[in-house]
């Protein structure tokens, strides 16, 4: 299965379906870097074949798996688990469970994707739910932030697990041998924050985990790139992510409006066009599209539902990177090395 690498794609998910997803997969395939990788495209065969015909794809690298069933964009997770069998999303993940593919990619309903992934692939060790990860453009490169929506409430043990998984992901996806890790808080002092973040901070400081723990970081440290991995609960992470995406869209729109306001502004924009294109590319969410569910026994990457072809291509390439980088095995190894639940013994001592 590892030669060639096989990626399974839900071609019907998201806002745009095959007309955008298929060109994105083709773009990822053409970029190279993963040998003669192959792709399984799940969904309506006629629509997928029509989208493939409009590209310059090498047809032998793409296999179309027909199904007329699709998980609705508003489907509840429980409904998706009960009624999702045979859908393009289900079949894409089933290909990973069955060993046909090394990773799955979908732009479909996030809750449904997580529920089906948990059902079919199961969790590593004693984890209960996967963590959803975002790659965040920063002044120093890219920062990994987790969780960004899968786990609304998190205790100290869960935050410690996020730190371990986030470091493994950042190492595999961004090539940093020893990523620095911080916990998002309302201040950097040890006494600040609620009980869960203070306890997680204490555990990470006192236990000998194989990661470079920095301590607490604040909200502005994310964009600064103060650490490689920022750990937080899913509620806070999702609010921060949506705020950042909104600000990025605002800055791009405001910049465009300002630089087309009058002749002088247009002339300045023409002179600085190269630099402006680079800045616009950095602020484009598609450039870092793709959020994996960490903690599963297989690789599943969630693409933004409204992603363009470039965004889909980046999500597929992330899936290829994680599948070939052994991130699932690394997470399992480091979680097994915790010596049980990270905070259990310490909690018992503090109660005694």
Sheet with 299-302, side-by-side order of all strands: 62-66, 38-43, 6-10, 103-106, 299-302, 291-294, 131-138, 141-146, 229-231, 180-184, 212-217
More confident residue, 26 or 289: 26
| pLDDT tens-digit map of 211-225 | 899 999 999 999 899
What domains can be seen in the chain, in order of their start residue? 1-130+295-326 (3.40.718.10), 133-288 (3.40.718.10)
Average pLDDT over residues 233-256: 84
**For residue 268, what pLDDT band results from cuts at 50, 70 and 90?**
low
Check residue 8 and give left, alpha or beta (phi > 0: left; psi -120 to 50: alpha): beta
pLDDT-above-90 percentage for the chain? 52
| pLDDT tens-digit map of 145-190 | 999 988 888 999 999 999 999 998 998 888 888 999 999 999 888 8
Identify the helix (H) or strand (E) that includes residue 253: helix 234-259
Identify the three-state secondary structure at position 157.
helix
Output the CA torsion sign for 181, 187, 191, 192.
negative
Average pLDDT over residues 67-93: 92
The pLDDT, as a whole number, for residue 278 is: 66
Q: How far apart are CA 155 and CA 342, in angstroms?
A: 11
Residue in the structure block whose two tokens are 């090395």: 337
**For residue 271, what pLDDT band results from cuts at 50, 70 and 90?**
low
Question: Which positions ≥6 away from 58 have C-beta within 8 Å?
Answer: 29
């Amino acid at each position: 299965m590892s030669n060639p690498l096989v990626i399974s794609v839900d071609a019907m998910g998201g806002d745009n379906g095959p007309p955008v997803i298929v060109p994105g997969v083709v773009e990822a395939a053409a970029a190279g870097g993963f040998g003669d990788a192959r792709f399984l495209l799940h969904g309506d065969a006629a629509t997928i074949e029509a989208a493939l015909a409009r590209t310059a794809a090498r047809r032998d690298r793409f296999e179309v798996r027909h199904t007329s069933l699709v998980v609705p964009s508003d489907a509840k997770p429980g409904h998706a688990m009960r009624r999702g069998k045979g859908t393009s999303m289900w079949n894409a993940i089933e290909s990973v469970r069955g060993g046909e593919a090394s990773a799955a990619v979908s732009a479909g309903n996030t809750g449904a994707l997580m529920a089906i992934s948990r059902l079919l692939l199961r969790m590593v060790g004693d984890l209960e739910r996967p963590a959803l990860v975002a790659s965040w453009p920063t002044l120093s490169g890219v920062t990994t932030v987790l969780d960004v929506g899968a786990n609304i409430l998190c205790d100290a043990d869960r935050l410690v697990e996020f730190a371990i998984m986030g470091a493994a992901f950042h190492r595999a996806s961004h090539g940093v041998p020893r990523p620095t890790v911080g916990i998002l808080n309302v201040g950097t002092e040890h006494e600040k924050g609620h009980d869960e973040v203070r306890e997680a901070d204490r555990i990470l400081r006192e236990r000998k985990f194989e990661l470079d723990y920095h301590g607490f970081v604040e909200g502005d440290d994310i964009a600064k790139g103060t650490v490689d991995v920022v750990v937080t609960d899913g509620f806070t992470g999702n609010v921060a992510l949506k705020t950042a995406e909104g600000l990025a869209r605002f800055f791009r729109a405001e910049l465009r409006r300002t630089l087309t306001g009058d002749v002088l502004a247009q002339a300045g924009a023409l002179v600085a066009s190269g630099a402006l294109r680079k800045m616009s590319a950095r602020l484009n969410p598609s450039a870092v599209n793709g959020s994996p569910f960490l903690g599963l026994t297989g690789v599943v990457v969630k693409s933004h539902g409204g992603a363009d072809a470039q965004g889909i291509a980046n999500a597929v390439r992330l899936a290829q990177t994680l599948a070939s980088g052994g991130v699932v095995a690394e997470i399992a190894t480091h979680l097994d090395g915790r010596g049980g639940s990270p905070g259990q013994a310490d909690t018992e001592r503090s109660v005694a």
